[in-house]
Amino acid sequence: MNAPVKAPPRHAPMDQFEVRDGVLQIGGQPLTRLADRVGRTPFYACDRALLTRRVEELRAALPAKLELHFAMKANPMPALVAHMARLVDGIDVASGGELQVALDAGADPREISFAGPGKSALELRQALAAGILINVESFREIALLRELCRETGYAARVAVRVNPDFELKSSGMKMGGGPKQFGVDAEQVPELLARIGEAAADGVGFEGFHLFAGSQNLKPEAIVEAQLKSFELALRLAQDAPAPVKVLNLGGGFGIPYFPGEQRLDLGPIAANLAALVERAAVELPQAKLVVELGRYLVGEAGVYVCRVVDRKVSRGQVYLVTDGGLHHHLAASGNFGQVIRKNYPVAIGNRMDGAVEDGVSVVGPLCTPLDLLGERMPLSRAEPGDLVVVFQSGAYGVTASPQNFLSHPAAAEVLV
């Protein structure tokens, strides 16, 4: 007897976008028309209505008192940041350049926080002048802030970014636990808090803690565990704090499905745990507001990358769609942004969504490297030169996380529709 053939794992359905007459709709427009409107390919397009819907759905699921921040390095396009700034409670920036964009976007400086190792004296000065919250990541940053406060007379609002003594299990990228360049090791935090207390006379004010254990997690139980442990660690550390905790940023790490077999995150257990933590905070850290900061989860599913088929080649029986886009615009889809084993993002022929499917099609770019692969041996509607290839799940870590200058092709356009 033959063993039953197991169906290959599939991508989660990309049903956030409508299809009409075989054409994908982005921001209420047919993709073909949008491509004409943009005027060139390749481009990234993000759907405003989907951004808004994602925030609304999260708000409905999470406790009302929990604050929702957007970590803008996931997508720092100015128009998108401006849209998000109106929807969320705060913006997390990771450089002086991002701070500038967040302020231009109209974000309230009191609700901007700045994390990242190796902040320069110039960035810290910008942050002080803007009046934002600085998540300090080293003893050097506190010493420098103290000097800058003395020199400028500005007050410093600081939270301590803690490198926790645990890791976010099953996360795509670990950002805390063990030895890390991020934050201050939990065991060194009491000493740092003492320094912050000493710097109070110079205008350095302690406001709370920031923990971020990791990114791209699709396991609710792992996120629950990390948030619970983060809360408890913050409670312990708060005993040595020079002032009451006003803000406790529990990080995020909520993932989205990219690869075959992955499913959308179940928010239920995460929401229940956060509701319990908000209640505990009311008693155990009565002055604190709880924050989660999300990048990818807020914007990733609302965006697509679009490129045009330039050539259709058959090499020893295998079909290659050669496009005008590639890894120089979308490193993550090519599998070269932190993946160990290359897997396919969800890809479709956006103007032939109902077309007859052929199997084993590879989508490549124009670069002279076999790494320039947007899809490998996938089932796709039969496509010809001129057709539009769409890479879904591309609203986060797209153009700004890709080596655009590699091989000197034109940059990708970016639109918000």
Q: State the residues that interact with ligand PLP by CB under 6 A.
A: 71, 73-74, 92, 94, 115, 212, 215-216, 251-253, 293-297, 396
Sign (positive or negative) of CA dihedral 297, 302, 307, 313:
positive
Q: How far is the CB of 327 from ligand PLP (least distance, A)?
A: 20
φ and ψ at residue 291, rounded to 5 degrees: -130, 140
Q: Using CB atoms within 10 Å of the CB of residue 397, give its burial: 0 to 12 exposed, 13 to 18 middle, 19+ buried.
A: buried
Residue nearest to ligand PLP (CB): 295
Q: Rounded distance, CA 132 to CA 207, Å?
A: 11
Shortest distance in whole angstroms from residue 15 CB to ligand PLP: 22
Nearer to ligand PLP, 180 or 382 (CB): 180
Q: Which is nearer to ligand PLP, 91 or 281 (CB)?
A: 91
Output b/e per residue, 172-190; b: 16+ Cβ within 10 A.
bebbbbeebebbbebeebe
**Closest distance to ligand PLP from the beta carbon of 39 (Å):** 30
3-class DSSP state for residue 337?
coil
In Å, how far from its chain's centre is CA 316?
40
Query: Closer CB to ligand PLP, residue 114 or residue 206?
Result: 114
| 206/212 with CB nearer ligand PLP | 212
Closer CB to ligand PLP, residue 292 or residue 378? 292
The smaller minimum CB distance to ligand PLP, of residues 213 and 388, is found at: 213
Please give the structure tokens belonging to residue 202: 């110079």
Tokens in use for 316? 């020893």
d(CA 206, CA 146): 12
Cβ proximity to ligand PLP, 185 vs 284, nearer residue: 185
Going across the sheet that includes 29-30, the strands are: 19-20, 23-26, 29-30
Question: What's the one-letter identity of residue 297?
Answer: Y
DSSP class per residue in 226-241: HHHHHHHHHHHHHTT-
Q: Give yes or no for a contact between 195 and 139, defined as CB atoms under 8 angstroms apart.
A: yes
